[in-house]
Structure 1
Amino acid sequence: MKTKQGDAPQAGPREISRRQALALCGGALALAAGAVPFASRATGTYPSGPIRLVVPFPPGGSVDTVARTLGPQLQEQLGQPVVIENRPGASSVIGAQYVKHARPDGYTILLNASLQMANPFLLSTATYDPMKDFAPVTGIGAQPQLVLVRADGPYRTLADLLSDARKRPRELQWAIAAFGAAGHLACELLNVEAKVDMPVVPYKGGAPALVDLMGGHVSAMIEPMASAYPHEQAGRLRALAVTSDKRLQVLPSLPTVAESGFPGFDMPSWYGLWAPAGTPAAVVERLHKEMQKAIQAPAVAQKLAGISFIAQASSPNDFTRYTASELSKYKKLIAQAHIKADQ
């Protein structure tokens, strides 16, 4: 721009100094460098970095046991770290919400049990839609549950426990790993069918509930084999019945709940893998294929068989249909049994 004689030239609106230009170029390069990892993760070969496998319970429960059985094998197959990240609380809602809001790129995934579908009917904190807010990846399998009491307690059969419960309404209590868990629903269903009034005491996972059961702070518990069976084997707890429709090979003398006076009773605990909604279909399919391969690995298969776990990595489409069916079933069961969690 023009200046008066003797005035110093002033930079026009489109003119910048050499120093400013270099600074801007440097900033642009830094921004571009910072964006490279995200770009490569989005467009490169999956996976190109660590995967967080979120477990919405503390260590030691059935969901955590299944995750830690599968994690090392998945890591070996994928060639990237698979980090088990425990995010317990609110009957698995905290972990589920965390994955719901994660970047949908396959690097944050959720391993949960059937309560993923039941929680929205029980808890006001479960502000997610289990079908719309997640991408179903694969079912992992299911396992039976054991009806448990202290090994040194007075109950030898399920009939003993329920008979005492009828004599002392609300004095005997069920421990539950979480509201909406398969163990919780099994307790409530047994309360209805046996016509007993045994309140439930919720815990932040199966492990602390089992500890209190062994300590005599609660009367009984229904818990999946993964976390229950080791305590039965060690003689710390006594199993009164199994919730499957058939007896277990590892405990052939243990009757089913159905055989104990409740025909048709069948309440397994099933497990699955979810990613945030919007995760690319190719990534979802890769995770399904790797899970299918992992459960067939000899070391993993042996561990799962030891807890009577029936492994089956269903396809994303099959798992979507199954979870939709389970959602409908739990809605009906919770309404019929008048199950309430929020007070």
Structure 2
Amino acid sequence: MKRSIHHTSVGRRAMMLGTVCALATSMGSAWAQDYPNRAIKLVVPFPPGGSVDTVARALAPQLQQQMGQPVVIENRPGANSVLGAQGVKRSAPDGYTIMLNASLQVVNPLIMTATTYDMDKDFTPITYVGALPQLVLVSAQSPYNTLKDLLDDARKRPGQVQWATAAYGAAGHLAAELLKAKAQVNMPIVPYKGGGPALNDLIGMHVAAMVEPMASAYPQVKGGRLKALAVTTAKRLPALPDLPTVAESGFPGFDMPSWYGVWAPAGTPPDIVARVNNEVRTAMAAPAVANKLATMFFQPVASSSTEFTSFIRREVDMYKDLVSSAKIKVED
């Protein structure tokens, strides 16, 4: 008899649990159906003018058209993109605050001496948007015409030939660190608060060189303000067929593009994550966006949330090795 009562009790609890789960699923679906009903903030943790901002401004108008609500870009620069990321972390997990960031989002916790955020606990990956080749750049007025010219001068004047970087831990910074290590040269890194300010100082020859993604670098090259010495991808670019790769310039196997993703605060309902993922992937395929991104040499991916999570894990493993070997640390 007791056994029968026990089974009945378990059965009732199971039925109650099933009802609760069904209600939660129903509520999640209702939220997703009602979403969005007001403006969405797309946070860019850098100032205007850099590659992250450029990609965001290509996507936002199309997302706004698709979703029927304003998609407002909010530039929140500072602290190596940490300020913007922490603001998103503290935002309500309701899909109305999302963030577009580069690989720096996953590198920061590896290089900061102070606690910034926990990549796994504080954010929900939405989609791996895609990647950009990077260019090794100097001012149009620079005497360097090849990567060899730059590195040879750095060897003659150790510590005096400086790299600019949009931020410590950014893809351009990591590419410069890797190049320094392979070339065995002493070239200090000068960090800026974004690609735009760094490019301006590079044009003015306040720093000697920079590695920067194509989205923000190529217009300056095309406009005659900067010279490209090499591209960081494994293959040459069709638009710049005469520009050698870093690998061809004496560093076989060198391949380091800049990649971009969209994140939401942790706890964002799965239905809303799926909705944003679908909207971003649809926007990436829209002719207006695809054509604009193509002019930046952007290589679209637009992954699922699960695929993006797996990609992040692989990238973190690679960055850990580079950060350790190059002893990259940002002091509090």
TM-score (norm. length: structure 2): 0.90
Distance 2:157 2:115 in 1: 34
CA-CA distance at 1:153 after TM superposition: 1.0
Aligned equivalent of 1:35: none
CA-CA distance at 1:125 after TM superposition: 4.3
Aligned equivalent of 2:176: 187
Aligned equivalent of 2:330: 341
Aligned equivalent of 2:8: none
Contact 2:31 2:272 (C-alpha < 8 Å) held by counterparts: no
Secondary structure at the residue paired with 1:132? Answer: helix
Contact 2:161 2:207 (C-alpha < 8 Å) held by counterparts: yes
The code of the aligned residue for 2:37 comes to S
1:330 lines up with 2:319 in the alignment: yes
Contact 1:61 1:206 (C-alpha < 8 Å) held by counterparts: yes
Aligned counterpart for 1:116 among listed residues 89, 100, 105: 105
CA-CA distance at 1:152 after TM superposition: 1.5
Contact 1:93 1:125 (C-alpha < 8 Å) held by counterparts: no
Per-residue CA shift, 1:288-315, capped at 9, x if unaligned? 1111110111111111111110011100
Aligned equivalent of 2:258: 269
Contact 2:32 2:275 (C-alpha < 8 Å) held by counterparts: no
Aligned counterpart for 2:190 among listed residues 185, 190, 201: 201
1:152 lines up with 2:144 in the alignment: no
Distance 1:172 1:96 in 2: 32
Secondary structure at the residue paired with 2:175? Answer: helix
Distance 2:116 2:51 in 1: 24
Aligned equivalent of 1:50: 39
Secondary structure at the residue paired with 1:303? Answer: helix
Distance 1:68 1:227 in 2: 12
Secondary structure at the residue paired with 1:295? Answer: helix
Distance 1:286 1:136 in 2: 13
Distance 2:48 2:68 in 1: 25
CA-CA distance at 1:187 after TM superposition: 0.6
Aligned equivalent of 1:10: none
Aligned counterpart for 2:123 among listed residues 129, 134, 143: 134
Distance 1:207 1:145 in 2: 15
Distance 2:32 2:301 in 1: 30
Aligned equivalent of 2:302: 313
Contact 1:146 1:228 (C-alpha < 8 Å) held by counterparts: yes
Distance 1:305 1:127 in 2: 34
The gaps in structure 1 that reach 5 residues or longer are 1-40
Distance 2:314 2:101 in 1: 17
1:246 lines up with 2:235 in the alignment: yes
Aligned equivalent of 1:234: 223
Per-residue CA shift, 1:190-224, capped at 9, x if unaligned? 01000001000000000000000011100000000
The code of the aligned residue for 2:130 comes to G
Q: CA RMSD in A?
A: 1.5
Contact 1:111 1:273 (C-alpha < 8 Å) held by counterparts: yes
Aligned counterpart for 1:166 among listed residues 155, 177, 182: 155
Aligned counterpart for 2:271 among listed residues 278, 282, 290: 282
CA-CA distance at 1:126 after TM superposition: 4.8
Distance 1:60 1:284 in 2: 28
CA-CA distance at 1:124 after TM superposition: 3.0
Per-residue CA shift, 1:313-343, capped at 9, x if unaligned? 1000000010111111111110012222227
Contact 2:58 2:292 (C-alpha < 8 Å) held by counterparts: yes
Distance 2:193 2:120 in 1: 24
Distance 2:207 2:192 in 1: 11
Distance 1:313 1:336 in 2: 31
Q: What is the identity percentage for the equivalent residue pairs of Structure 1 and Structure 2? A: 64
Distance 1:199 1:99 in 2: 32
Aligned equivalent of 1:292: 281
User: Against the structure 1 CA distance between its residues 279 and 172, is the aligned structure 2 distance closer, same or farther, given a 3 Å change threshold?
Assistant: same
Distance 2:82 2:148 in 1: 35
Per-residue CA shift, 1:21-69, capped at 9, x if unaligned? xxxxxxxxxxxxxxxxxxxx95761111100000000000000000000
Contact 1:53 1:84 (C-alpha < 8 Å) held by counterparts: yes
The gaps in structure 2 that reach 5 residues or longer are 1-29
TM-score (norm. length: structure 1): 0.87
Per-residue CA shift, 1:121-178, capped at 9, x if unaligned? 1123452011221000001000100000011110000000000000100000000000
1:101 lines up with 2:112 in the alignment: no
Q: Across the two proteins, how many residue pairs are aligned to each other?
A: 305
Contact 1:56 1:94 (C-alpha < 8 Å) held by counterparts: yes
Aligned equivalent of 1:303: 292
Aligned equivalent of 1:37: none
Per-residue CA shift, 1:247-304, capped at 9, x if unaligned? 0011111000000000000010000000000000000000111111101111111111
Distance 1:270 1:238 in 2: 23
Distance 1:110 1:58 in 2: 14
